[in-house]
């Protein structure tokens, strides 16, 4: 009996252990299954949360807590499973898998597993969420005081579209002063941003004298950072504080009135990208700042359209005033139009006119027309604000060149090359000494800078610029030392019948006189011109120019009398202008140059374009102009049909030009074979001819010309017109009997492609040439305009063997093809045409395919002009290409040859 008791107790204990082991194994299997179920629910919830957050929703706190608990539970289950593996390994080494010492551990783990199974079931029950995320609370956007806006809708929508683009992080708003950039940004802040989902929106006014410390302080205060974390710290220490706060937030930073680049990282601003979804928007007056800020998108804020401009003007004047007299409404339209859509000017001019009577309106109109700086508020509220843009120009040269633009009339399209030539004549581009070409390059850079600063703007016409009327008035005010003198006297003659109305008594202090318009018919009086440096009298009805002016203007350096079609002669007193450096008499009816011009030993630029066919040059006159650098004598296009000079005169003119030591730039039309021979023998003339119009009677002279192209390093514009008149060809054969075949030009043009060199042509016009192709154009990567007319032999522009050249037509903007009966191909290879804007095709029946695919000219082409039959028969690379260019097609209404 003593033995049975202990044995029975052992059996009972062993039975309990076996039961515990069985329970342990069942619970372990259950744990594996239920943990797998939990992971499935966790994955489902996580995917729902990820989708919601991609839609800028924020996960619920209870969902976030549940996900955290599941992740913690998964780690605990992994730990249990690892412990079980260790116990099972111990069991396998004990007495045939039987070790009573491990029973307590197994029993304890079984109870732990059972407990975890219960907890996991509870987590699974709680993981079935109806909603996992909700809209994020809007960032607190401080509403900024703002008057009702007019005419900003399209730009507002464009900004909103950019803002919603995930790939756009930095947006630049640029435009001239007073155009409404800040107003647009305020409207965006008040109306758009409150509907967006961001953690924080910060508005900072940067201003002209940007201070990084002040900008940081504004941002830190908006973020409610305790003073102790940044007060007294250096800029780089504040940047670290800011960066570590903002990198965890989705923010919008609005920087108003940026004048130069701000390094966002140095400021402490994380760079916006697709991951953080943050945005930086800034306003600036300079396109250049947009570039330096590496803006993903730049939006130009334009002046208001006429209708919107008048709506804004009416709002400031008030309906009561506008309806008080029938004539006031008409005067209001005139006054608003004079502001040219500039909101700041419209507001400044409109407000003081409220409740004004009709006589007051009439006086105000006269003041704005003749003395705009005297109008109430114009200087303080408009000119002084715009002056900041002037003050920010990079150099004194830029400022002088800008002020000079104000000598042109209101709304005038200024030719860029004409403006630069005047700058050179004034000595404003003297930095490069006597190098005319470097001076021109500098002039082009200055024009680009002024456009970037929104002080000049592109005209609708190619290679021309404009100055906004209000900017022009401000420039004249600045040029006259803030209105304190009359250094610049600029009148368009619209309100006066003669130059006498311009008060010659005031001319003593005038340095630049600019008079324009047909109402100027006579000069009377004897103005004192002792300080006059520049006189521009253009497009008037003057028939002669009085001696008295030249006799007192011995300081005159620039004289421009161009466009005076009735002016028939220059007075002999022009020889007294011993300091004259620039003389332009283009577009006049002057038939003979006075011999007194020989006295002008400082004359550097002589422009004689578009004047009488048979103008007489006294012998040795040109060769006596020892300082001459620029000479230009180009005919009107319709004059190219007949010689501009008799043959001996043309040859003598070239020979005299060749004698000039400092001559660098020649623009001239040649008609005679003997002139071509002079050119062929003169490396100097070849080197300095820049603009050229060639009109000839058969092919041989342009064969000579093509052979010289590689040597004519400054040739930019070339126009060749060849006539096959039998009588003229006969004259030509008398001059050179051995050169009478048009076919000789063909091998010569082909030889051009045998050498690795570059032709600097920008424009090429060919009429009547007898070539089969123009393969040599592969050597002209700068070509912008190609015009081919009436070339009966031309079969292809670029042959197949040359179509793979890298730069073929990479700069081409305009293509004009007319009356080319054999032309079958521009190029057999598809070309990119990255700059092409326009292509015109007329009477080219064999041209059935254009070298386009769906990538060609994709962002540049505006339209394709052509006859309907030609367009219907065109073949395309594929359907996508045809569909893309279909919207660009504009049919010819009538066949009109394009003019140069």
Tell me how far CA of residue 590 lies from CA of 519, 543, 556, in angstroms.
20, 10, 21
Distance of alpha carbon 476 from alpha carbon 482, whole angstroms:
8
pLDDT tens per residue across span 374-420: 999 999 999 999 999 999 999 999 999 999 999 999 989 999 999 99
pLDDT tens per residue across span 83-93: 877 766 666 65
| pLDDT at residue 754 in the model | 52
Confidence of residue 548 (pLDDT cuts 50, 70, 90): confident
- Listed ranges 46-50, 101-105, 175-179, 429-433; the one with the highest mean pLDDT: 175-179
pLDDT tens per residue across span 804-813: 666 789 999 9
Distance of alpha carbon 607 from alpha carbon 613, whole angstroms:
15
| pLDDT at residue 88 in the model | 67
More confident residue, 498 or 158: 158
CATH 3.40.1670.10 describes domain 380-484: no
More confident residue, 635 or 740: 635
679 membership: H or E segment, kind and range: helix 673-681
Give which of 479, 477, 580 is closest to 535, Cα–Cα.
580
| pLDDT at residue 434 in the model | 79
Query: What is the mean predicted confidence (pLDDT) over 453-478?
Result: 93
Query: What is the mean predicted confidence (pLDDT) over 70-98?
Result: 73
pLDDT tens per residue across span 651-662: 899 999 999 999
Domain-wise residue ranges, the chain: 4-135, 153-300, 306-370, 380-484
Q: Kindly report the length of the chain.
A: 900
| pLDDT at residue 603 in the model | 96
CB 331 within 8 A of CB 324: no
Confidence of residue 493 (pLDDT cuts 50, 70, 90): low
| pLDDT at residue 612 in the model | 67
pLDDT tens per residue across span 830-871: 999 999 999 999 999 999 999 999 889 988 999 999 999 999
Beta bridge partners of 471: none
Q: What is the CATH number of domain 153-300?
A: 3.40.50.300
Query: What is the mean predicted confidence (pLDDT) over 65-88?
Result: 85
**693 by DSSP, 3-state: which?**
strand
CB 39 within 8 A of CB 116: no
| pLDDT at residue 347 in the model | 95
Confidence of residue 5 (pLDDT cuts 50, 70, 90): low
pLDDT tens per residue across span 141-151: 888 999 889 99
What phi, psi does 535 have (nearest 5°)?
Answer: -130, 120
CB 583 within 8 A of CB 607: yes
| pLDDT at residue 362 in the model | 94
Q: Is the pLDDT of residue 544 over 90?
A: no
| pLDDT at residue 274 in the model | 87
Q: Please, what is the Cα angle at 97 between 92 and 103, to 5 degrees? A: 105
Q: Which residue has the tokens 């497009």?
A: 539
CB 131 within 8 A of CB 49: no
Q: Is the pLDDT of residue 694 over 80?
A: no
- Nearest 10 degrees: CA dihedral of 167, 168, 170, 174? 160
Query: What is the mean predicted confidence (pLDDT) over 542-561?
Result: 87
Confidence of residue 554 (pLDDT cuts 50, 70, 90): confident
pLDDT tens per residue across span 153-210: 999 999 999 999 999 999 999 999 999 999 999 999 999 998 888 889 999 999 877 7
Q: Give 1's contacts (C-beta < 8 A, 6+ positions apart).
A: none
- Collect contacts of 314-317 with beta carbons under 8 A, ≥24 apart: 314/350, 315/148, 315/150, 315/350, 316/346, 316/347, 316/350, 316/351, 316/353, 316/354, 317/350, 317/351, 317/353, 317/354
**Quick one: what percent of the chain has pLDDT higher than 90?**
53
**Statement: the pTM of the whole predicted model exceeds 0.85:** no
Q: Is the pLDDT of residue 774 over 50?
A: yes
Helix boundaries (H) for 299-406: 306-317, 319-322, 326-338, 343-350, 358-370, 384-391, 396-404
Q: Is the pLDDT of residue 696 over 60?
A: no
CB 201 within 8 A of CB 218: no
Helix, strand, coil percentages, rounded to 5, for the chain: 45, 15, 40
Give which of 443, 335, 341, 344 is closest to 387, Cα–Cα.
344
More confident residue, 635 or 423: 423
Distance of alpha carbon 422 from alpha carbon 418, whole angstroms:
6
Q: Please, what is the Cα angle at 269 between 263 and 271, to 5 degrees? A: 80
């Amino acid at each position: 009996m003593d033995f049975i008791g202990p044995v029975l107790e052992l059996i009972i204990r062993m039975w309990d252990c076996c039961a515990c082991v069985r329970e342990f194994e069942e619970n372990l299997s259950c744990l594996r299954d239920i943990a797998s179920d939990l992971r499935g629910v966790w994955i489902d919830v996580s995917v729902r949360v990820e989708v919601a957050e991609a839609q800028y929703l924020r996960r619920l706190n209870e969902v976030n807590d549940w996900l955290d608990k599941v992740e913690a539970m998964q780690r605990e289950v992994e730990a249990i499973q690892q412990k079980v593996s260790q116990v099972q390994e111990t069991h396998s080494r004990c007495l045939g898998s039987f070790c009573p010492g491990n029973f307590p551990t197994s029993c304890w783990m079984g109870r732990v597993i059972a407990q975890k199974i219960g907890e996991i079931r509870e987590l699974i029950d709680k993981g079935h969420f109806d909603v996992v995320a909700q809209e994020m609370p809007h960032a607190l956007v401080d509403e900024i005081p703002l008057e009702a806006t007019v005419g900003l809708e399209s730009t507002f929508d464009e900004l909103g579209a950019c803002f919603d683009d995930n790939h756009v992080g930095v947006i630049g708003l640029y435009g001239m002063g007073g155009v409404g950039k800040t107003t647009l940004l305020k409207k965006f802040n008040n109306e758009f941003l409150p509907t967006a989902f961001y953690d924080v929106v910060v508005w900072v006014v940067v201003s002209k004298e940007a201070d990084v410390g002040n900008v940081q302080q504004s941002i830190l205060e908006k973020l409610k950072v305790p003073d102790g974390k940044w007060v007294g710290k250096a800029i780089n220490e504040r940047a670290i504080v800011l960066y570590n706060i903002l990198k965890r937030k989705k923010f919008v930073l609005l920087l108003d009135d940026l004048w130069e680049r701000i390094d966002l990282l140095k400021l402490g601003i994380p760079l916006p990208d697709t991951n953080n979804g943050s945005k930086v928007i800034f306003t600036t007056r300079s396109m250049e700042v947009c570039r330096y800020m590496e803006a993903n998108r730049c939006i130009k804020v334009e002046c208001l359209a006429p209708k919107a401009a008048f709506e804004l003007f009416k709002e400031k004047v008030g309906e009561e005033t506008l309806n008080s007299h029938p004539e006031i409404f008409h005067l209001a339209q005139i006054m608003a139009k004079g502001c040219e859509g500039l909101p700041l000017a419209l507001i400044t001019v409109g407000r003081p006119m409220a409740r004004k009577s009709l006589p007051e309106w009439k006086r105000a109109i006269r003041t704005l027309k003749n003395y705009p700086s005297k109008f109430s508020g114009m200087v303080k509220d408009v000119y002084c604000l715009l002056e900041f843009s002037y003050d920010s120009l990079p150099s004194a040269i830029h400022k002088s060149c800008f002020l000079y633009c104000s000598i042109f009339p209101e709304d005038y399209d200024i030719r860029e090359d004409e403006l630069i030539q005047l700058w050179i004549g004034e000595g404003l581009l003297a930095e490069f000494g006597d190098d005319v070409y470097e001076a021109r390059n500098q002039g082009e850079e200055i024009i680009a800078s002024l456009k970037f600063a929104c002080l000049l703007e592109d005209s609708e016409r190619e290679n021309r610029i404009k100055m906004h009327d209000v900017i022009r008035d401000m420039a004249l005010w600045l040029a006259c030392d803030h209105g304190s003198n009359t250094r610049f006297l600029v009148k368009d003659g619209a309100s006066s019948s003669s130059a006498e109305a311009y008060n010659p008594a005031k001319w003593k202090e005038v340095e630049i006189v600019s008079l324009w318009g047909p109402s100027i018919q006579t000069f009377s009086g004897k103005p004192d011109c002792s300080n006059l440096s520049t006189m521009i009298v253009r497009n008037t009805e003057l028939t002669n120019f009085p001696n008295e002016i030249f006799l007192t203007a011995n300081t005159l350096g620039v004289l421009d009398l161009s466009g005076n079609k009735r002016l028939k002669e220059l007075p002999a007193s022009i020889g007294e202008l011993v300091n004259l450096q620039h003389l332009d008499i283009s577009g006049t009816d002057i038939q003979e140059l006075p011999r007194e011009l020989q006295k002008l030993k400082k004359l550097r630029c002589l422009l004689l374009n578009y004047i009488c066919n048979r103008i007489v040059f006294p012998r040795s006159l040109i060769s006596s102009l020892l300082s001459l650098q620029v000479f230009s004598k180009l005919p009107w296009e319709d004059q190219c049909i007949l010689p501009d000079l008799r043959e001996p005169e043309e040859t003598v003119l070239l020979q005299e030009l060749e004698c000039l030591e400092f001559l660098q730039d020649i623009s001239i039309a040649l008609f005679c074979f003997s002139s071509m021979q002079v050119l062929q023998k003169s490396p100097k003339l070849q080197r300095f001819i820049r603009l050229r119009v060639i009109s000839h009677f058969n092919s041989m002279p342009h064969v000579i010309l093509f052979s010289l192209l590689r040597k004519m390093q400054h040739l930019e514009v070339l126009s060749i017109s060849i006539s096959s008149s039998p009588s003229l060809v006969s004259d030509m054969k008398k001059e050179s009997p051995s050169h009478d075949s048009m076919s000789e030009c063909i091998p010569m043009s082909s030889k051009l492609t045998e050498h690795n060199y570059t032709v600097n042509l920008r424009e090429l016009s060919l009429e009547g040439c007898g070539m089969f192709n123009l393969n040599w154009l592969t050597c002209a990567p700068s070509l912008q305009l190609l015009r081919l007319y009436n070339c009966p032999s031309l079969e292809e522009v670029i042959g197949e063997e040359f179509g793979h050249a890298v730069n073929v037509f990479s700069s081409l903007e305009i293509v004009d093809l007319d009356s080319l009966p054999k032309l079958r191909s521009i190029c057999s290879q598809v070309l990119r045409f990255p700059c092409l804007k326009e292509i015109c095709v007329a009477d080219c029946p064999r041209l059935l395919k254009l070298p386009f695919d769906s990538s060609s000219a994709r962002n540049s082409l505006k339209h394709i002009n052509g006859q309907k039959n030609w367009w219907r028969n065109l073949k395309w690379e594929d359907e996508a290409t045809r569909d893309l260019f279909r919207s660009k097609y504009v049919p010819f209404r009538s066949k009109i040859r394009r003019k140069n």
